[in-house]
A and B are shown apart, each in its own frame.
Chain A
Amino acid sequence: MTQAASAPVLLVGPLLLFMAAFYAFPVLAMLARSVTDPHPTLANFAHLAGDGVFLHVFGTTLRTAFIVTAGTLFLGYPVALALSRMRPTAATITLVIVLLPFWTSVLVRSYAWMVLLGRRGLINEALRALDLIDAPLRLLNTPLAVNLAMIHILLPYMILPIASVLRQIDPSLPRAAAGMGATPWGAFRQVVLPLSMPGALAGTLLVFVLSLGFYITPALVGGPRDLMLSQLIAQQVDLLNWPYAACLSVTLLAATLVLLGATQVLPGVRGAFRLGTR
């Protein structure tokens, strides 16, 4: 191996060793449990396929992840666009505002939503003051509460990758489009939007994958039937049913990997996680 070729290996070597020892090995050992504990078996996976509880919970988890991803994309893209067009000072201030929830504990943010959505919470009180409702609406402990709180918590993960890609787009490109007669909307739709797709996809994948593993927020603001997969895994761990918990975890990991793999096949996605060397 030439010196030039071995340099990157040396650079990532320490991290690689660290990850192998403290991440890959324990994770693999835990995952192996799903087929080896107490003896080699596929019984856990067979049980999984016929487990109505698992199928229901997996469905809830996927549905929540889809809704939250769509919500963050819908709310986050305009913010990212605005961010990319601001003067440096305004952009910095906006960025801090975007990041503020990012620096706050998930727990605190979940409790904040309890305060807002409660029966005597801000939203119900406001609606009552406006005479729009007679009795308080049930907002807390519902799927709606889970979706709202998760969208809020995950929004920065959507905004940041999109904003970073948008900022890299050469401003002369939309100007050129305008010069050639494109309307502002046309320039956005035909130039900026396609160029920003890698950021949107990176954000989408990040938010979706993070949503799949949410635990605290659904437990705190969710309703009686909003059980997420991570809650089911935790329950099985507490039951000392480690092999089945491992089996559930393998399934969650596999679903995530399949999804990541599938998106890599889509056109325009391949560059989503590459460094910006366009």
Chain B
Amino acid sequence: MSLSRRHLLALSAASLASWRALAQDAPLPEIASVPAALKGSGEVRVVGYGGTMQTAQRKAYNDPFEQLTGIKVRDFAGADLNKVKAMVDTGNVEWDVVQLSRGSVKNLLKRGDYFEKIDYELVDVANIDPAYRFEYALDMLVWAEVLGYRTDAFKGAVPVGWKDFWDLKKFPGDRSLIGAGGSSNPELEFAVMAAGVSPDKVYPIDVDKAFAALDTIKPSIVKWWETGAVPVQMLTDKEVVMTSVWNGRMAALQAAGVPAAISWPQGLLKRDAWAVPKNSPNKANAMKYIAFTTMAAPMARLASLIPYGSVNDKSNALIAPAQLAKLPSAPGIKEKLVPYDYEWWAANRDAVLDRWNKWVLA
């Protein structure tokens, strides 16, 4: 009862999805050397979300980073925006690098000076899209929130995009979408696309239009999910025929043999980002860690272990084709996705959630 949501998330992942998608023995691109500027001494404390992700990060990032730079990595689970705020507020900062989203970083920055600026002098900026770079955070993990469906539910018909998700005649059955819990926001983007807005015109979101579209689908939504394991469980148990879902979870589900598939078009391209809390004890090492991990090879190592994409343009060439086909950052998939607009959400989140809470309970 006192478990935190992150904790819950990690536990759920362990208990539900079998995570066979983690290709433990995939051959990983080797890294021969690093720029001299990244070498150092001492330690860096990195905080992620635990579970399979952190195991993969250890193998992809931490091991070569320690060997090549001489900086020791101590990693912890339980990345949490509220903890960053509490640490900085009380002047007791224990973390150097934290895995968050740019939206979270922006939300906290609205309340004060909580993060250090990223040292882009060290970063491989030539190969990282400006869209991934932000003054106070650097995107480092590309994932997608997509339409997942049971392939045995519609006699072979394949739903493509959110108009189909909203089409209860052609694709009958219960559905699920994300709720307003955790650090996620309601999927207003999907609602406006269902209402006919073209993917490149989604932002700024017409909130009235989104809620009008949500009104029509609401009776078929059996669950507003909060943790990533729930949509996967509901697809597995046929509680729903279609749901929004995180692409990494779907890979695990398919690996477990469930007849389910991703429909990529009109999914949301989202990112996790590294951020450095204000006055972190090992700030210089934090910047080196961030620069190292976003280089092509470390990014490719991670994407080879777990189906989340890279922010570095040079990574794709280093990833095996079979694995690349599962990544939201792969050519042929990335273009189908709508890049999530963290700026819009940072500016509108409070108002949307206020309205959302009333709407959900009405």
Contacts and interface: CB of A to CB of B under 8 A. Distances in A.
Interface of A: 52-53, 56-57, 105-108, 111, 114, 118-121, 138, 140-141, 210, 213-216, 219-220, 223-225, 227, 230-232, 234-235, 237-242
A239 B361 contact: no
Interface of B: 1, 3, 5, 8, 11-12, 15-16, 81-82, 85, 107-108, 111, 179-183, 218, 221-224, 226-227, 230, 233, 237-239, 349-350, 353, 357-358, 360-361
B214 to A, nearest CB: 12
Contact of B180 (A119, A141, A216, A235): A235
A220 to B, nearest CB: 7
Nearest to A106: B1
A216 to B, nearest CB: 6
15 contacts: A106-B3, A111-B15, A114-B237, A118-B238, A121-B237, A210-B1, A223-B222, A224-B360, A225-B360, A235-B180, A237-B82, A238-B81, A240-B82, A240-B111, A241-B350
Contact of A120 (B15, B227, B238): B238
Given A232-B357, A235-B180, 18 more contacts: A105-B11, A120-B237, A120-B238, A121-B237, A214-B1, A215-B3, A219-B181, A223-B222, A225-B360, A234-B5, A237-B82, A238-B183, A239-B107, A240-B82, A240-B85, A240-B108, A240-B111, A242-B82
B358 to A, nearest CB: 6
B3 A220 contact: no
Contacts of A234: 5, 181
A107 B1 contact: no
A107 B15 contact: yes
B15 A240 contact: no
Contact of A213 (B1, B85, B218, B238): B1
Given A53-B358, A240-B107, A240-B108, A219 B227 contact: yes
B82 A52 contact: no
Contacts of A225: 360-361
Contact of A111 (B16, B180, B239, B349): B16
Contacts of B353: 235, 239
A214 B3 CA distance: 11
A242 B349 CA distance: 16
Contacts of B349: 239
Nearest to A115: B237
A227 B233 contact: no
B82 A224 contact: no
Nearest to B349: A239
A195 B142 CA distance: 64
A235 B81 CA distance: 13
Contact of A224 (B224, B227, B239, B350): B224
A230 B353 CA distance: 17
A240 B88 CA distance: 14
A166 B212 CA distance: 58
Given A53-B361, A231-B181, A141 B15 contact: no
Return the 9 tightest CB-CB contacts between A and B, nearest first. Answer: A53-B357, A118-B237, A56-B361, A141-B223, A141-B222, A224-B224, A119-B238, A119-B239, A107-B11
A53 B360 CA distance: 9
Contacts of A215: 1, 3
Which of B218, B221, B222, B358 has most chain A Cβ within 10 Å? B222
Contacts of A219: 8, 181, 226-227
A130 to B, nearest CB: 20
Nearest to B86: A242
Contacts of B360: 224-225, 227
Contacts of B358: 52-53
A247 to B, nearest CB: 15
Contacts of B239: 118-119, 140-141
A128 to B, nearest CB: 13
A227 to B, nearest CB: 7
B54 to A, nearest CB: 19
A164 to B, nearest CB: 23
Contacts of B218: 224
A216 B82 contact: no
Contacts of A235: 180-181, 353, 357
Contacts of A232: 357
Contact of A238 (B16, B82, B111): B82
Contacts of B1: 106, 210, 213-216, 230
B99 to A, nearest CB: 16
A239 B108 CA distance: 9
A225 B183 CA distance: 19
